[in-house]
Each structure stands twice: as structure tokens, then as C-alpha cells.
Amino acid sequence: MIPLDPLPNLIDQVYARILEAIIDRTLPPGQRITQNELAEKLGVSRQPVSHALHLLHRQGLVAESGRRGFEVTELDPARIRQLYEVRGAIDALAARLAAGRVKTDTAGRAALEAALQAGRTIGEDTPLARLIALDVDFHSAIYRLAGNPAIEEMIAPQWPHMRRSMATVLAELDYRDSAWSEHEAIAVRILAGKAGEAEAAALAHAQTAGRMTEERLRATDRAA
């Protein structure tokens, strides 16, 4: 965790840095953290750290632990499954709408093609944080191509939880390949304007990701 420059949006920077540490498991589930400790590591005062931690607390990413302390919350397998159920419906809608607009939205089409091409560059040595970012970029490109701002507005508050859950399965080399094969299947159908097929592929992808994530989390709990 590299010290930050003192810029006006310092709270946002601190929040983003702590969030990234939670997502990439620099701060793993159950890890206890204090304002003083984080302030020292980030090279800032306690005030922006306090604000950032309370934002994370409201999102359910950290919980209070002792006096002036917090700990990173555990991922709840049932909750993640529920989120993926909702996301499946949203992703299916987004894919269908995107396929209907792909011939008229040239910028949106180009963004989706670029996101897909970026995903094809992943390999065994691709850092986990990069894998997660590429995954988010791909789905975000579909949401924008869909042309309905409400889709991104509804999914945005859940991205931190989704990104945490992605780390569970993207850490496995086999799933990295299969995930992008599924992305390719979705994109090909959207780019071809096949709305029904794109909708079905997006729903299947979300269902698979949700099932695998829940299984991995429950397996981890049993092993703990």
C-alpha cells in the first residue's frame, strides 16, 4: 500500500486504496485494521481514513471490531449467490439491449470489441487485480452499449462485493480460460445483433459464475 499524495479528493483516494486491498486480499477476510495503522501505511492523517472506513462499513465490507477498530467482513456464500441471481437478470437484459443497439452505436461497439481483445491477452502470470479489472471492463462495456443508464446505476453499488467474489474463482487458472470463453460467446452474439442468443449466453455466464463462487466459498469455509 503506497503512500498517497495529499490531493483534494483524499477521502476518495483512501477509500479506493483500502477497497483494492480488500478485493485483492492484501487485507483478507477477518483481518483486523485500525485507523492509526492504515493512516501510517498510507501516509495520511486519521481523518480521511476514518471517513473511508465508515463508507466501507455502510457497504458491508468492514465491520466494527473493538475500540476504534474494524475487521474485513467474510464473504457470505448465500449472499453472493443472491447477488449473482440478480446480476444474471441484469446482465441478460443488458446483453439483449446491447445486441439491439450494436449496429447504431459505433462507439459502444468499439468499446466492447476493445474490452474483449484486452481479455484475450491474459495468461498464467496475469495479476489477479488485472484479471478482475478486465472482467469488470468487459461487463461495463455491455452495460454502456445497452444504452440504459439505470443498468449501471443499479449494479454499481454491488461491484465491490462482486469484485471480491471474482477473486475466489479467477485465482484458478482453469476458470480464467473458461470465463473468457464465455465472454467471447456473449460478445459474438451481441456483435452479430442476435439479441435472444446474447441474452441466454449472458444469463448462463452469470449463473455459472455464481454457482462456482458459492461452491468455492463453502469449500473454503469447510476447510477453515
Is residue 33 domain-shared with residue 93, that is, in the same domain?
A: no
Q: DSSP assignment of 34-94, as one string?
A: EHHHHHHHHTS-HHHHHHHHHHHHHTTSEEE-STTEEEEPPP-HHHHHHHHHHHHHHHHHH
CATH code where residue 156 lies: 1.20.120.530
**Residues 84 and 65 both lie in one domain:** no
User: Are residues 27 and 63 both part of a single domain?
Assistant: yes
Residues 16 and 106 in one domain: no
Do 134 and 217 share a domain, yes or no? yes
What pLDDT score was predicted for residue 110? 98
Asked if residue 52 belongs to a domain, the reply is yes
Instruction: State the pairing for strand pair 69-72/32-34.
Output: antiparallel
Alpha-carbon distance of 147 to 46, in angstroms, equals 41
pLDDT band at 16 (very low <50, low <70, confident <90, very high): very high
Question: Which of 24-38, 170-184, 192-206 has the highest average model confidence (pLDDT)?
Answer: 192-206
Tell me how far apart the 2 most distant CA atoms of the chain are, in Å.
Answer: 57
pLDDT of the residue at 5? 58
State pLDDT tens for residues 39-81.
999 999 999 999 999 999 999 999 998 777 899 999 899 999 9
Domain that holds residue 23: 10-72
pTM (two decimals): 0.87
Q: What is the mean pLDDT of residues 154-177?
A: 83
Residues 134 and 202 in one domain: yes
Domains in the chain: how many in total? 2
Which one is predicted more confidently, 6 or 189? 189
